[in-house]
Amino acid sequence: MNAPETLPARSRIVHERLAAAGIRNRIVVLPDSARTAALAAAAIGCEVGAIANSLVLVADGEPILVMTSGAHRVDFGVLAQSIGADAVAMAPAAIVREATGQVIGGVAPVGHPAPLRTYLDEDLRGYDEIWTAGGTPETVMPLTFDQLETLTRGATIRVA
């Protein structure tokens, strides 16, 4: 476990949000980047499905956050129908950075300049422990689904 003061700046913000919510989980600094679910799962030693990928998308012109299981890809048609959007697309890197203060591959579920409308993949419920990015591509943190739901106030939906 890394002491909060030794974490990267973006991860310290995430740590502060966790602490404010009463969650005492640790943020782990990995020796290498974990920009993909497969890399993260290998580094952590968990199933790929237990990795909660953070996808910043644009739905009808508004940035949203979708936390999806690393076991599959988001079907934009299914997602759009699930959230009642006409159009859903990947957000460009500049929008990701602006909306979250974090970079692609390191977007945590919290720690953003302003809360994002968030959706949670129903398949993440099937894991006792899920792992999310911790604010940088080199940091990860374990959460339960209930903790993720509470932190993000996300709606649980079908994404694939």
- The string of pLDDT tens digits covering residues 56-96 is 999 999 999 999 999 999 999 999 999 999 999 999 999 99
Q: What is the pTM of this model?
A: 0.93
3-class DSSP state of 30:
coil
Asked if CATH classification 3.40.50.300 holds for the domain at 4-157, the reply, yes or no, is no
pLDDT at 1 over 60: no
Q: Hey, which residues does 59 pair with through a beta bridge? A: 62, 88
Q: Which is it for strands 62-69 and 130-133: parallel, antiparallel or unpaired?
A: unpaired
pLDDT at 31 over 90: no
3-class DSSP state of 56:
strand
Distances (CA, A) of 114 to 56, 65, 156: 14, 12, 20
CA dihedral angle for residue 82, residue 88, residue 89, residue 92, rounded to 10 degrees: -100
